[in-house]
A and B are shown apart, each in its own frame.
Chain A
Amino acid sequence: MRLVPWLYLGAAFVFIYLPVAALVLFSFQESNLPVPPFQGPSLRWYADILGDDDVMQALAHSLMVAAGSSAVACVLGFFAAYGLARHVLPGSAFLRGLLIAPLTVSYLIVGLGLLIVIQRAGLGLSLMTAGVGHVVINLPLCFAIIYASMGAQQQNAERAARDLGADEFRVITLVTVPMLAPAIAAAFFLSVTLSWDEFIISFLLTRFDVTLPVEIWSMLRSGLSPRLNAIGSIVFLVSVTAVLILEILVFRKRRP
């Protein structure tokens, strides 16, 4: 009986890691099919995709969109949080609700709405439009994370700075931002992870230049391939790295 919890934990981990293990293991497959039996290890498919211009370009696009949209979302989210936490505004509960609202709507619907407006306005689709969509979905998270960490402690430091003659700009750059750095960084890396992995908005809102998940999607049409395993493993590795950075930031913050 005492073993049951540990068996359950083990079984859960097998279930959780089975697809990841299959993905990573068969990315080192020698032959053309990423299925058992395993033959290898071989770096053939990594060499293959690293030499593939389309894939490498899509990867660069993904990094650009992720970094750009996350930076914009963090800046907008920070200012909105500062405005709402430090100033008494009429209807502030409604404003908070409005800023958080995109979280409750599925990405498909956010993308569809933007697609309709962009087409009606006669504008073209590009990485920029996908980036705009990513800001829409990440802004609520950035706002919520930064708003939640704006406590009385920072406010006292801000008041002290103001009493000592600092103007608003100095208060923000010298007091508020440094004190909130862990929260801002956490918001940024969370956004990067979500944007990096996001598919449906990018799929709807890009045309010629695409992001990596969209490129993977179009490669999927030709079925199982070790190339896809290799790209998928790289995508997973990047996400995990961002999450580990996030974890370290949040974990550090909790320690006194």
Chain B
Amino acid sequence: MSRSAEQRRGWGFVAPALLWTLAFFVLPFAVMGAMSLATLEGRTLVWGLSLANYAELAEKAYLWRAIMVSLEITVTVTVVSVVLAYPLAWIIAFRVPARWQRLALLLAILPFWTSYVVRSYAWLLVLAREGVVNQTLMTLGLISEPVTLANTRFATVTGFVHFFVMLLTLTIYANLIQLSPNYRRAAMDLGASAFQTFRHVILPLTLPGIVTGAFLTFVLCIGDYVTPQILGGNTELTVPQVIMVQLGRRADFPLASALAIVLMAIVTVVYLLSARWLKLDRL
């Protein structure tokens, strides 16, 4: 077969997936970009090259506030999840006997595979005023009145951390298990304490796994609408919640698009900051 015929055949195989991606991902994305530069006059859409929607982000306090709330929640969730997941991955990789490891890991991440909606609802059961936590604490006599747990930022963060601890346990475990035990032995032989071994040998070697997991956490967390909507209530709004408000009540597609572009921009900045350590292809 000649080279060009061979190439044509190759294109034939790639074409369907490529066209699908172009038509239903790239094109919508471009239209959304254009939409963010359009404006609403009354109820009619005026296409153009206006930066009015982006200017609104700086002018309107609630929009700016939403960006800050999203960032605060996402950073908190990412840090807490890494700190909680690392020891868990460590224990599964180095303390659980080899033949039980796969089972322990499977069990540790099984609830990961529930929909956001069901998982958030399940946390509502736990955190509600009459829920499991309050009832238990009251039965034990630790509190006399129910504590407000649901419809707070605490609830949103808890719901998120639950999800991302599982994700991070998986990525960090995958990283730990690839490490040759020789590194640890060598460090110990050279007189390093357990902590020094961890700090100077294991931690740097597992940094790619941590950064990859943390990046995924950041991306998924900042873009999620369901968890803050169900668990946070409407006490404070995140960017996805504001986007949904614009789509629903006000049908303000240009502003919603501008907010979506801002979310993308934030993710891109975080990607560039962490690109040095990211190993997305190793997942």
Contacts and interface: CB of A to CB of B under 8 A. Distances in A.
Q: Tell whether A and B belong to one assembly.
A: yes
Interface of A: 5-6, 8-9, 12-13, 15-20, 22-23, 26, 33-37, 75-77, 79-80, 82-84, 86-90, 95, 98-99, 101-102, 104-110, 112-117, 120, 132-133, 135-136, 139, 143, 168, 193, 196-200, 204, 213, 216-217, 220, 224, 228-229, 232, 235-236, 239-240, 242-243, 247, 251
10 smallest beta-carbon distances between A and B, as pairs: A106-B223, A87-B10, A83-B13, A113-B28, A197-B115, A19-B122, A80-B17, A83-B14, A23-B122, A76-B17
Nearest to B87: A8
A5 B114 contact: no
A23 B10 contact: no
Contacts of A20: 111, 114, 122
A189 to B, nearest CB: 11
B218 to A, nearest CB: 11
Interface of A is mostly: helix
Interface stretch (B48-56, B183-191, B196-204, B256-264): B256-264
A161 B96 CA distance: 46
Interface residues of B, number: 77
From DSSP, what is the main secondary structure of chain B's interface residues?
helix
B72 interface: no
B166 interface: yes
B117 interface: yes
B121 A99 contact: no
A80 B115 contact: no
A177 to B, nearest CB: 13
B207 to A, nearest CB: 21
B214 interface: no
Contacts of B271: 104
A15 B29 contact: no
